[in-house]
Amino acid sequence: MIINEDHHQIPKAGLKKNRKNHNHQKNNNNNKKEDDGLDKRFKTLPPAEALPRNETIGGYVFVCNNDTMEENLKRQVFGLPPRYRDSVRAITPGLPLFLYNYSTHQLHGIYEAASFGGTNIELNAFEDKKCPGESRFPAQVRAVTRKVCLPLEEDSFRPILHHYDGPKFRLELSVPEVLSLLDVFAEQNP
């Protein structure tokens, strides 16, 4: 028996058991944290919007409209909303990039990453008018033109992309998807 500071008697065996359970709980919490860290790239995107875990990212499609396209090209920075932060961080220099203009339904390219993907690479790019000093599209990468091409019309590139939820397509591209897109660009831009 042990007597604590309030002069209560506590059996020794009970203490050991509690310590053991406490340590076991502590270990379980540590394992949980490690398990959460395994899937970091997929934390912010639902599985349908991300490449399968075992696939290597081969390229990336960024999205713009007529209003933001000029800013993308002028600044040489492509951006996406906050939920794409972890996904965009997987971008490495040299990775093929494409720019989909949803106003015209055209895919522009061929660009390549000139930096690693990150957050707020250029803080004043795509400024949020409601929150001055903040970007509406903080998941960013620097981009340069790899090859000047005429844009692809939707019917020529849509069959290549992985679709989910009707007309929406995955922005992370697999290596075979990128190779197919590069082929279509080459065919239409001799």
Q: What is the pTM of this model?
A: 0.74
Measured CA to CA, the distance from residue 116 to residue 24 in angstroms comes to 40
Measured CA to CA, the distance from residue 87 to residue 171 in angstroms comes to 9
For 35, phi and psi rounded to 5 degrees? -60, -40
Q: Where are the domains of the chain?
A: 2-38, 47-188
**Higher model confidence: residue 69 or residue 26?**
69
Task: Indicate if the pLDDT at residue 176 is higher than 90.
Answer: yes
Measured CA to CA, the distance from residue 17 to residue 27 in angstroms comes to 15
Q: Is omega for the bond preceding 110 within 30 degrees of 0, making it cis?
A: yes
The pLDDT of residue 95 is 97
Contact 50, 42 (CB under 8 A): yes
Domain 47-188 class in CATH:
alpha beta
> Taken in order 68, 69, 71, 77, is the CA torsion positive or negative?
positive
Contact 59, 92 (CB under 8 A): no
What's the mean pLDDT in 89-99?
96
The pLDDT of residue 80 is 94
The pLDDT of residue 42 is 41
Task: Indicate if the pLDDT at residue 30 is higher than 60.
Answer: no
How high is the mean pLDDT of the chain?
Answer: 80
Pairing of strands 152-153, 106-113: antiparallel
The pLDDT of residue 130 is 86
Of the listed ranges 14-18, 99-103, 159-163, the least confidently predicted one is 14-18
What are the pLDDT digits (tens) for 53-93? 888 899 999 999 998 999 999 999 999 999 999 999 999 99
Measured CA to CA, the distance from residue 138 to residue 79 in angstroms comes to 6
Task: Indicate if the pLDDT at residue 109 is higher than 70.
Answer: yes
Nearest to 91 by CA among 50, 140, 49, 124: 140
